[in-house]
Amino acid sequence: MGATMNAPSALPAVPVKMQARDVKVFYGAKQALKGINLDIQENRVMALIGPSGCGKSTFLRCLNRMNDTIENCRVEGRLTIDGDDIYGRDIDPVQLRARVGMVFQKPNPFPKSIYDNIAYGPRIHGMASHRDEMDEVVQKSLQRAGLWNEVKDRLREPGTGLSGGQQQRLCIARAIAVSPDVILMDEPCSALDPIATAHIEELIDELRENYTIVIVTHNMQQAARVSQKTAFFHLGDMVECDDTEEIFTNPRDERTQGYITGRYG
């Protein structure tokens, strides 16, 4: 069977989807990240936690080059997806952002119909040539985001007319529609009530079957509930990354311990 002889209980290694090596980020003269090394495993949820201003969102934005849109922002180091340098000359940031989708803190549907919110990306990327094909993409994306049954009879109504939780699932469906490998989520539940939050958390757990997910959250219970790996950031450093259970029960660094026990943050 080819099992490793000296480690009979070892599980097969999980492939690395994205990798950061010595990633430094500057806003003008101010350094926000000090040399981050991190491996993001495929089909896992990784939570990024840490006190306000430690660089979690900055790091997240490096993963799909959203920092390119910030004028005085400079990124150094190496970031890869499936081994490809995402800051390489041959990488088109628009294509990259389809491969590495993003969901923001505040649901931000386009001022368009529910249908067109989903169809927008596939249209731009030429992913569906016929109406039937597009209908299928829209239906599949909404189903995967757990929203289809609620909206199937009102696809022509504006996306902005949905509840906050539904809007956030619409944004997740929009990200899914262009067939990403990775979905980045920047505090996706912070604007939602507890029921909508629980719904999104369940969805995140389902989505990891097909996608790699990186989520920034201030809510440590949420990190513990949804992620398999957790990385703790502090003052621009990635202090430690481990299995989520390990980080919350047995952190190695006293800064992590201080944060998870609520001593600061």
Ligand X SMILES: Nc1ncnc2c1ncn2[C@@H]1O[C@H](COP(=O)(O)OP(=O)(O)OP(=O)(O)O)[C@@H](O)[C@H]1O
Site of interaction with ligand X (CB under 6 A)? 27, 30, 32, 50, 52-58, 70
Dist. CA 163–CA 124, nearest whole Å: 27
Beta bridge partners of 234: 237
DSSP label at 55?
Answer: S
Integer CA distances (angstroms), 230 to 142, 208, 225, in order: 28, 15, 11
Nearer to ligand X, 61 or 199 (CB): 61
Tokens 């790996």 label which residue? Answer: 229
Q: Hey, what amino acid is at 189?
A: C
Within 10 angstroms of residue 103's Cβ, the number of other Cβ atoms is 23
Q: Six-digit token pair at 134?
A: 């597009």
For the chain, helix, strand, coil in percent to 5 are: 35, 25, 35
Answer whether 222's CB lies under 8 Å from 194's CB: no
Nearer to ligand X, 155 or 216 (CB): 216
Nearer to ligand X, 179 or 230 (CB): 230
Within 10 angstroms of residue 208's Cβ, the number of other Cβ atoms is 17
Nearer to ligand X, 69 or 149 (CB): 69
Dist. CA 158–CA 150, nearest whole Å: 14
Nearer to ligand X, 142 or 192 (CB): 192
Dist. CA 20–CA 85, nearest whole Å: 10
Least separation in angstroms between CB 108 and ligand X: 16
Nearer to ligand X, 14 or 70 (CB): 70
